[in-house]
Every structure is written in structure tokens, then in C-alpha cells.
Chains A and B, each alone.
Chain A
Amino acid sequence: GEDVEQSLFLSVREGDSSVINCTYTDSSSTYLYWYKQEPGAGLQLLTYIFSNMDMKQDQRLTVLLNKKDKHLSLRIADTQTGDSAIYFCAESRRSGNTPLVFGKGTRLSVIA
């Protein structure tokens, strides 16, 4: 079945870049998402990439997709203490209304 894997923890110093990695197994994944969860809050959509793209940049966020290796990464430039949160990778086979398959989430800790 479909599976999404992420490392559980990442610690970086403020001002450095963070790279959160994700692998998935479903070769028919069409959309890949990054969600952010701050303490006590819901899942906030950060960015997404369609499977026919290999990179997407949005301000401090860069998403890289290696479809051959089924590897997705999220790079956060100039990481700030406010970026401390859990980051979830998710995939779906079709757009919008189909179930998302999530990873367990990567807890990013930013050290001042």
C-alpha cells in the first residue's frame, strides 16, 4: 500500500537552512504537499508540488521532487524560531478531494 516516510526530528540553528526529507512509495502520486503543525494548532498547508514539476520556490521555501527516487524535500532558508513546528509530508493520487496519505511528521527545533 501507499506509504510516506520522514525522519522524526531535525534541529538547526537560527539563520541556517533546514532541509526536511520525505520518501513515498506510490508511483502514481500526483500531488505532494507539505503541511505545518504548530503546538495546539491544526495542519496548515505550506506548499505543494505537482508530480510533473521538479522544483517549486515560494519565498523562503523550496520544494524539490525527485520522482525517480520518490523523494521530496522541503528547504527552509534563514530558519527562524517561529519555524519550530512539526512538518508533515503528504501525497495524493488525484487532486483535492482524494484522501491524503501522511508521513509521521518531522519535528523541527530551531535553536537561537
Chain B
Amino acid sequence: EPEVTQTPSHQVTQMGQEVILRCVPISNHLYFYWYRQILGQKVEFLVSFYNNEISEKSEIFDDQFSVERPDGSNFTLKIRSTKLEDSAMYFCASNLLPREGGYTFGSGTRLTVV
């Protein structure tokens, strides 16, 4: 079964550093998303991306965050200057078309900011 692949599985970074989280969505999917889950809290929506532009974003997705689809396969989330409170599990997801069946999620990248 096709999978959404995320790398790395765990990243440790110093506060103030830039990080790029990488995702390879399912190849024929058109809609891409980032969600995050701070330890012990809810899974929260960050951003959705379609047709090479952001289609929706949450309040969490401020100027420190950006997304890019640099080629035909990767979908990246960049955090420019990480803060301690950015420590979380970040999930990438993709979807072929707006449909009732939900998304396919990756296994997540655990980001630890020290």
C-alpha cells in the first residue's frame, strides 16, 4: 500500500536554528498537509497546500514557518528560527482529491528543540 514517507524520524536542534522537515507524499496525490502534536496535546492543523500554493493555514503557522514543494516528489516544512515550544511531532499527510475518506499520514518527525 502506498505510504507517505517522512525524514528524519527524529531531529534535535538548538534554539534559533533553522530546520527543514521532509516529506514524500503519495505520488499521485494533489493535496498536502502538515499537522503537529505537542506531547500530551491534540494533533493540530498547520497548513494545507495545493497547486503549488498554500490553500489554508492556522494561527500556529506564522512567519517562522514556510512550506515548499521543490520538485515533483518532496514537500517540506521549514521553521526559520526554532523555539523551545516548537518541540513536537510533525505529521505530513496527503490526499488525492477532496473526498470523504480522510488523509494518509506519514509516521511523523519528532522535533526536539534544546
Q: Which of A28-73 contact B (CB under 8 A)?
A: 31, 33, 35, 40-45, 48, 50
Output the nearest chain A residue to B41 by Cβ-Cβ distance.
A104
Q: A40-B107, A96-B31, A97-B55 are in contact. Are A45 and B98 (CB under 8 A)?
A: no
Partner of B102, one of A33, A94, A103, A104: A33
Residue B15 interfacial (CB < 8 Å): no
Interface flags, B81-114, vs A, CB<8A=1, else 0 = 0000000000101010111111111111000000
Return chain B residues, CB-CB under 8 Å to A95. Answer: 98-100
Residues of chain A contacted by B50 (CB below 8 angstroms): 97
Please state if A102 and B102 are interface contacts (CB–CB under 8 Å): no
Number of interface residues of B (CB under 8 A): 31
Known: A31-B100, A45-B102, A48-B101. A97 touches B48 (CB 8 A): yes
Contact with A along B35-50 (1 / 0, CB 8 A): 1000011111100101
A33 to B97, CA, bound (A): 17
Q: Which chain A residues border B101 with CB–CB below 8 Å?
A: 45, 48, 96
Closest chain-B Cβ to A56's Cβ sits at a distance in Å of 11
Known: A31-B100, A48-B102. A99 touches B108 (CB 8 A): no
A4 CB contacts on chain B under 8 angstroms: 42
A42 touching B100, Cβ below 8 Å: no
A88 CB-CB contact with B under 8 Å: yes
- With A97-B50, A103-B42 as known contacts, state yes or no: A43 contacts B58, CB within 8 Å: no
Chain B residues contacting A90 (CB-CB under 8 Å) are 43, 102
Task: Determine if A96 and B95 form an interchain contact, defined as CB atoms under 8 angstroms apart.
Answer: yes
The distance in angstroms between the C-alpha atoms of A4 and B43, with both chains bound, is 11
B residues bordering A, Cβ < 8 Å?
Answer: 4, 6, 31, 33, 35, 40-45, 48, 50, 55-56, 58, 91, 93, 95, 97-108
The 8 listed contacts between A and B (C-beta, < 8 Å) are A33-B102, A48-B100, A95-B99, A96-B99, A97-B95, A99-B45, A99-B56, A100-B45
- If A97-B31, A99-B45 are given as contacts, then 15 extra A-B residue pairs at C-beta distance below 8 Å, sorted by A number, are A31-B102, A35-B102, A35-B105, A40-B107, A42-B108, A45-B103, A50-B100, A95-B100, A97-B97, A97-B98, A99-B48, A99-B58, A100-B102, A101-B45, A102-B43
